[in-house]
C-alpha cells in the first residue's frame, strides 16, 4: 500500500477530523450527482450511501431525511460556486469600462459553463419549485457579490460624469440579465455557441448597455 492509500483509507480506529471532513464532502458530492441524475423524488439515501461506501445509519445520523441531505448538498455546491472577491475585482481594467464589463460578463458565463456550474444550475431548474431557498441562496451567494461590484463601478463612473445612471444596483442587475442570461440559457440547453458568436453577443450587449447609460 502506498502512502496516499494509507492516508485516505486508514486502518481501524477513529478517523481524524480531516478524514471525517473529506468523507462528508464526498457524501455531499455524490448526493448532488444522485439528485441531478434521479431527481429528488427518485433519489434515495440508501443508494447515495451505497455509492459512497457508507451505511444508511451513518448518513441518517447526520441527516434525518432526504430533504436535509439535499439542502446540504446544494449548499455546498453554491458555496463552491461563489467567485472569490479577488477574481471579481480582477475583472476591472482601469480606463476601459467596456472591457471591464466584457470581463464581468465572461466571468459569469465561464462560471455557469464549468461542470460544477452546469450541475448546480440544472438542479436549481428542476428543484427550485420544491426548495425555493436554493434559488435565493444561489443569487445571494453566487451572483450578488458580482452585482454589488458592478453597481459600485457604475456609481463611480456616474460620479465621474462618464455615465448617467440613477439606480446603479438595478442597472447592474439589468446588465447581467441583458448580457449574460441569454448565452447562459443556450449553454444550459446544450446549444453550442462558438467563441466568435459568444464574443459578438457580449460585445453587442455591452455597447447597447453603455449607449443607454451614457449622459445625454
Of all residues in the chain, the percent with pLDDT exceeding 70 is 94
CA distance 8 to 207: 52
Please state the three-class secondary structure of the chain as a single string: CCHHHHHHCCCCCCCCHHHHHHHHHHHHHHHHHHHHHHHHHHCCHHHHHHHHCCCHHHHHHHCCCHHHHHHHHHHHHHHHHCCCHHHHHCCCCCCCHHHHHHHHHHHHHHHHHCHHHHHHHHHHHHHCCCCHHHHHHHHHHHHHHHHHHHHHHHHHHHHCCCCCCCCHHHHHHHHHHHHHHHHHHHHHCCCCCCHHHHHHHHHHHHHHHHHHHCCC
How would you class 119 by CB atoms within 10 Å of its CB: exposed for 0-12, middle for 13-18, buried for 19 or more?
Answer: middle
Give residue 13's pLDDT band: very low, low, confident or very high (50, 70, 90). low
Q: Is 77 within 8 Å of 119 (Cβ atoms)?
A: yes
The pLDDT of residue 80 is 85
pLDDT digits (tens, 9 = 90+) for 132-190: 999 899 899 989 999 999 999 999 999 999 999 999 999 999 999 999 999 999 988 88
% of the chain with per-residue pLDDT over 90: 69
Place of cell 460585445: 203
Task: Please compute the mean of the pLDDT values over residues 115-125 and round it to a whole number.
Answer: 86
In the numeric block, the cell 451505511 is attached to 55
Q: Pick from 97, 113, 57: which is nearest to 210 by CA? A: 97
pLDDT at 15 over 50: yes
Domains in the chain: ranges and CATH: 17-79 (1.10.10.60), 84-213 (1.10.357.10)
Give the model confidence (pLDDT) of 88-99 as tens digits. 999 999 999 999
CA torsion angle 157 162 167 169 (round to 10) = -40
pLDDT digits (tens, 9 = 90+) for 53-109: 999 999 999 999 999 999 999 999 898 888 999 999 999 999 999 999 999 999 999
Amino acid at each position: 500500500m502506498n502512502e496516499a492509500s494509507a492516508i485516505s483509507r486508514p486502518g481501524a480506529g477513529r478517523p481524524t477530523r480531516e478524514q471525517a471532513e473529506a468523507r462528508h464532502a464526498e457524501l455531499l458530492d455524490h448526493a448532488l450527482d444522485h439528485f441531478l441524475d434521479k431527481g429528488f423524488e427518485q433519489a434515495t439515501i440508501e443508494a447515495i450511501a451505497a455509492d459512497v461506501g457508507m451505511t444508511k445509519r451513518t448518513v441518517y445520523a447526520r441527516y434525518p431525511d432526504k430533504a436535509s441531505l439535499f439542502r446540504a448538498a446544494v449548499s455546498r455546491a453554491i458555496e463552491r460556486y461563489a467567485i472569490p472577491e479577488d477574481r471579481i475585482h480582477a475583472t476591472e481594467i482601469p480606463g476601459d469600462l467596456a472591457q471591464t464589463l466584457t470581463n464581468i460578463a465572461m466571468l459569469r458565463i465561464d462560471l455557469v459553463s464549468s461542470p460544477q456550474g452546469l450541475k448546480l444550475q440544472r438542479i436549481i431548474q428542476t428543484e427550485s419549485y420544491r426548495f425555493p431557498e436554493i434559488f435565493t441562496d444561489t443569487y445571494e451567494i453566487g451572483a450578488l457579490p458580482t452585482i454589488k461590484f458592478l453597481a459600485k463601478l457604475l456609481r463611480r463612473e456616474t460620479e465621474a460624469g462618464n455615465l448617467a445612471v440613477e439606480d446603479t444596483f438595478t442597472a447592474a442587475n439589468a446588465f447581467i440579465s441583458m448580457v449574460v442570461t441569454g448565452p447562459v440559457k443556450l449553454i444550459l440547453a446544450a446549444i453550442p455557441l462558438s467563441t466568435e458568436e459568444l464574443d459578438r453577443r457580449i460585445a453587442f450587449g455591452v455597447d447597447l448597455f453603455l449607449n443607454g447609460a451614457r449622459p445625454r
